[in-house]
Amino acid sequence: MPFDGAEISEVTELLVIGRARIEAGWCQKKDRCNKWSMRGYHVHYCLIGSILYDLPRIGLARAEELLKDAIERLGYSHKCLVTFNDAWGRTQDQVIEVCDVAIAISRGEYRPLERRNL
C-alpha cells in the first residue's frame, strides 16, 4: 500500500509515515519514547507523535482531522487522538487500523464495511 507508485498528497504521505512508525513501535501516555533491545535503539510513537516529530508541518492539521474522522467512522467513542491512543485496553493493531482508514479517506478510497460500537 505505501508508495505503490501512485502520486500521493503531502497529507497522505504524512499519514503513511506515521503508520509505519507506529507499526515499528507504539507507545501510550507519551508522544514518543525510547526503547532499547538486543537489536539496538528504537523510538516508539503514539498516534499524534507519529505525525508530529521530524516531519514537515505541511498538512499536519488535515492529517489530524483525517485521523479523528477515521476514529469516528470505525465507531470508537473517543473524539480526541490522545484519549483514543491512551485508552485502557487499546492495542497497536487498533491504532494501525485507524491509520489505514485515515490513509484510505485521504486517497478517496475508503469504503465502510460496517459500523462498530466500541
Confidence of residue 7 (pLDDT cuts 50, 70, 90): low
Residues 6+ apart with CB under 8 A from 95: 22, 26, 47, 84, 85
Least confident of 46-55, 66-75, 78-87, 96-105: 46-55
pLDDT in tens, 56-83: 777 889 999 999 999 999 999 988 999 9
Cα separations in angstroms, 62 against 56, 68, 106: 13, 10, 9
* % pLDDT > 90, the chain: 67
* Residue 87: strand, helix, or coil: coil
Handedness of CA 102, 106, 109, 114 (dihedral sign): positive
